[in-house]
Amino acid sequence: MATLPIDSRVSARTADFLTQSQRMFVDGRFVAAASGKTFPVYNPATGEILTHVPEAEAEDVDRAVRAARRAFDEGPWPRMTPSARGRIMWKLADLLEENLEEFAELESIDNGKPLSVARAADIPLAVDMFRYMAGWATKISGSTLSLSFPGDFHSYTLREPVGVVAQIIPWNFPLLMAAWKLAPALATGCCVILKLAEQTPLTSLRLAQLVHEAGFPDGVINILTGFGEGAGAPLAAHDGVDKVAFTGSNEVGRMIVKAAAGNLKKVSLELGGKSPAIVFPDADLDRAIAGTASAIFFNHGQCCCAGSRLFVHERIYDRVVEGVSNIAAGIKLAPGLDPSCEMGPLVSEEQFQRVTSYIQSGVDQGAKVAVGGGVGGDRGYFVQPTVLTNTNPRMKVVSEEIFGPVVCAQSFSDADLDAVALQANESIYGLASSIWTNDLSTAHKMAKRIRSGTVWINCHNVFDASLPFGGYKQSGWGREMGEEVLNNYLETKAVTVAL
């Protein structure tokens, strides 16, 4: 295979990883695809190939599922003491933290995000997730129950791992999504097959090396690279899998549900969003302007919870739209590794085409471009941060998830909170929202009226391993993070003893 150019800004360790022959992780071993096939991984800032990774297909999926099955049915993981499980998970978090800089560089070069963001957000949040869930391993327990059934009984519940779990993740926060999925499953005693997004496999392949070093028993964690159709679909359909956990588009979410129907797997889904950011006239406007701009432009808008619908009271609409537009105009587009980078390229050419055609469709349907609307640079997948005005709910840009740095501004006139909530709730999605006001009563009343799994007040995109995250309506089934996510990976067994 030809030697590939490596960005001179990466550290020697990152360069070393990129020159290694990439392998998947199955049954505790680093392996090529059974077919020997590989596929290229691109740097979205240049469109150049970074490396090649194995292309898993049905046979590789089957090997990984068998390994996880053995590790669960015969192996030590679910039988290990919770404390021992927690310690290995904690060790993984420590190793990840020790290698933070290398992971941040890999994430930046693979996904396109600013190195500063990967360093401050993606990697530390992944570390926290493993630590938070390592703590839960020793705190999972059932309860004793008081029966009214005639007789003398002692009844209690056991909380047991659901079994072998298939996890399929997207490309927007590659390592963090892996941590959100792996950590709770491991804490409960499940064994896992993780299928990475084809665009961004690098940090999780590096993670596999740390999984090995941390001392996880063989088969507990299996990590596959491949395409949705070739690897994701057979994984979601595999009879050896007890549960599938998916994050991605609603379209593929529906396919997962169908594929899981064969052996009636448990399914949890974290899907799309079209989150409203609602600014009331009494808000601290400087804070609201900076906050709602960040709500959409953080991670280039490639967030399922991005504040992509900006609702502003008509009295302050012009000021807020102007403020957000000024911020957008000042955002520096550059490759993620460039120290001046505030927004990198979108993740792939496909995503670039998708986002730019959404902007065009908005214009075709009558939206006005307040700022942005174009592409940046002469190579790479850069799209300018864009503010669209004159938008309405019948436009595709308002009703569909764009997953790019594009916000649609609308005004509201009503003082009636029910009417404002009705407007904000006009979406098939219900993932997140933010409310910007200095009135406590407005804040809490709106928090109740908005139909979404997360409500932020005077902030947006605040994530913590302890905060449950997931969707109402078509934004998904179940929750990630917090104590709540454990329910995705646990069965409840009722035990009754006649005394």
Residues serving a catalytic function are: 270, 304
- What interhelical angle do 123-136 and 82-98 show, nearest 10? 170
Per CB under 6 A, the list member of 252, 279, 337, 421 interacting with ligand NDP is: 252
Paired tokens of 111: 């996904």
Nearest-approach distance from CB 208 to ligand NDP, in angstroms: 16
**Tokens 């993984």 label which residue?**
92
Paired tokens of 139: 């705190």
What part of residues 185-214 is at the interface with ligand NDP (CB under 6 A)? 195, 197-198
Q: Verify binding: residue 403, ligand NDP, rule CB under 6 A.
A: yes
What part of residues 331-390 is at the interface with ligand NDP (CB under 6 A)? 354
- CA–CA separation, 343 and 44 (whole Å): 12
What part of residues 268-297 is at the interface with ligand NDP (CB under 6 A)? 270-272
Q: Verify binding: residue 229, ligand NDP, rule CB under 6 A.
A: yes
For ligand NDP, the closer of residues 325 and 384 by Cβ is 384
What part of residues 54-83 is at the interface with ligand NDP (CB under 6 A)? none
Q: Verify binding: residue 227, ligand NDP, rule CB under 6 A.
A: yes
For ligand NDP, the closer of residues 431 and 486 by Cβ is 431
Which residues does 448 contact at the CB level (< 8 Å), separation at least 6? Answer: none
Binding residues for ligand NDP, total number by CB under 6 A? 27
Please state whether 138 falls in left (phi above 0), alpha (psi between -120 and 50) or beta: alpha
Per CB under 6 A, the list member of 10, 236, 306, 337 interacting with ligand NDP is: 236
Determine contact, residues 396/365, Cβ cutoff 8 Å: yes
Nearest-approach distance from CB 277 to ligand NDP, in angstroms: 17
For ligand NDP, the closer of residues 96 and 304 by Cβ is 304
For ligand NDP, the closer of residues 131 and 238 by Cβ is 238
What part of residues 159-188 is at the interface with ligand NDP (CB under 6 A)? 168-172
HSE at residue 205, side-chain half, CA atoms within 13 A, is 28
Determine contact, residues 168/246, Cβ cutoff 8 Å: yes
Determine contact, residues 14/102, Cβ cutoff 8 Å: yes
Quick check: helix, strand or coil at residue 418? Answer: helix
Nearest to 92 by CA among 195, 16, 175, 172: 175
Nearest-approach distance from CB 189 to ligand NDP, in angstroms: 25
Q: Which residues pair with 82 in a beta bridge?
A: none
Paired tokens of 307: 């504040």
The residue ranges that bind ligand NDP (CB under 6 A) are: 168-172, 195, 197-198, 227-229, 232-233, 236, 247-249, 252, 255-256, 270-272, 304, 354, 401, 403
